[in-house]
Structure 1
């Protein structure tokens, strides 16, 4: 009975997934919205039956997509893997943030497969260096038209340095994109499961988010290495810069989380914490202060001391 129900649910959810694909093809302006709904069938099925049965459904979805909607095959791969990881985390009753970490990893794998497939099988070459060259040449042409040839060389050099540095941070951008996709998919998945399966899934309050103390040591190591390894042509330079940016982002999130905790702890309106967050996004010096606050909270456990004091 359980096996037949598993097959029936798989067929039904697979049919829903294919309907979403067809709608995205027929009504193009809805495709961007439906894109975030594609992981939901995988999340629902994996949350009920676990990873292995869901993997079979994922393979079946890829086969059907390749036959009936080939153009959406890459989207199916990316969203399917991310949905499987999120649903498996829910099935194993992991915490919301642990599930989010697994979903982020799933989307990273999916995006990497997307890159490999487009590079090898489809022969679509994303040459970032060509993009940089074209952008610089276009900027130089504009400068010449406005009669500022003397400054054009200096500005070109600055643009090249900035874009080259951004190209080195592609791994960080990849993680950021995967994290956003995982968060949106998981949040929508929680809403569906709470309504369909009568569960009570939700993200805990942002003020409770805390990262392990080991993050501080990784951040300090990356910071020290960034002063020692300064040659951009060195592979370690790229790795260190990505590690530094990623750990800085984690520490910054911890700082924002502490602000929400502090306002709640002192019975201050949440609006103040939201206002500080919005203003900080436009004032770099505030971001530096909040990053420092995150370091202090992780390293010296400010929250525990506040709770003990109270």
Structure 2
């Protein structure tokens, strides 16, 4: 493993700057790159050297504000999890799931600790944020100009819907953070001499066929939630369906890349189709059909 060097000192500085950006407007973007320095440092250094690199960062953070030290601990743990997976030569998918799972577990733990110990009321916080966001719409002069009346009931409904979607948002955020970290950290670690597995090519992306059954289960839960006033079933329905649809979108993207590869299309075409999947909802049907029927096998046989 690498010992202290100028490169490792630079990555420590990058970690410091990213952490300091968390209480600034830049945090909207920097949060997604937060694990990268930690992953690179842990994967390329011995545990002792890694700790020694964190000590000066921690000291500076405490001098600025102790809250930054908490941020560092929260964000360094999933970075360690991903870096450890790289050290053990695990697959790229395993490293991604490990990093995303650790981050998601921390999110849930923070919500639990905040609720039980610090009496943090997530419902009230979301309601206040929604109220602040839509305040221009509730202005009487704006309502008169636009001819649209925004009622307090609408605000309450948006706040409830937002709260119900929190689990989905946490899952997607964790996955995106882990994915971005892998995409950027893998080539850097490869240049540093560490062998890190690649993700399978997009044309090989395939979701488990059981996702079809989960889709039908989500439909049943959605029907139950409409007949039940409780928020529990409604929360499951609102989070399960988007996650399953995301799986179908990934399947559709994989199919487009597979089709492009077998048909020798222009390389830009699958990227355009893949981007369109996220903006044109019905395109996910391609993923459902590809998952339910052996279309790729039929295409491969027809090429022989």
TM-score range relative to shorter protein: 0.7 to 0.9
Secondary structure at the residue paired with 2:208? coil
Alignment correspondent of 1:216: 212
Q: Is the 8 A contact 1:21 1:72 kept in 2?
A: no
* TM-superposition CA deviations, 1:31-69 (whole Å, max 9, x none): 77775555334323544689xx58x94996596466445
Alignment of 1:108-119 (within 5 A): 108-115=104-111
Question: 1:292 aligned to 272, 281, 285, which one?
Answer: 285
Alignment of 1:1-310 (within 5 A): 18-24=12-18, 38-47=34-43, 53=47, 57=51, 64=59, 67-69=62-64, 70-115=66-111, 126=122, 127-135=125-133, 138-142=136-140, 146=144, 151-152=148-149, 157-158=153-154, 160-197=156-193, 199=195, 201-230=197-226, 231-283=228-280, 287-288=281-282, 290-310=283-303
Change (3 A) 1:34 1:139: closer
Deviates more, 1:269-278 or 1:209-218: 269-278
Alignment partners' CA distance in 1, 2:61 and 2:110: 15
**TM-score normalised over the length of structure 1:** 0.76
For structure 1, the 5+ residue unaligned runs are: none
For structure 2, the 5+ residue unaligned runs are: none
Alignment partners' CA distance in 2, 1:96 and 1:67: 34
Change (3 A) 1:262 1:164: same
Deviates more, 1:39-48 or 1:269-278: 39-48
Q: How much is the aligned-residue C-alpha RMSD, in angstroms?
A: 3.9
**TM-score normalised over the length of structure 2:** 0.77
Alpha-carbon distance, 1:91 to partner: 2.6
Q: Is the 8 A contact 2:91 2:198 kept in 1?
A: no
Alignment partners' CA distance in 2, 1:31 and 1:157: 32
> Aligned residues, how many?
295
Q: Is the 8 A contact 1:263 1:269 kept in 2?
A: yes
* TM-superposition CA deviations, 1:222-267 (whole Å, max 9, x none): 1122112213533122112211111111111111211111111111
Secondary structure at the residue paired with 1:278? helix
Change (3 A) 1:301 1:84: farther
Change (3 A) 1:232 1:172: farther
Alignment partners' CA distance in 2, 1:30 and 1:236: 36
Alignment partners' CA distance in 1, 2:25 and 2:142: 40
Alpha-carbon distance, 1:24 to partner: 4.9
Deviates more, 1:227-236 or 1:242-251: 227-236
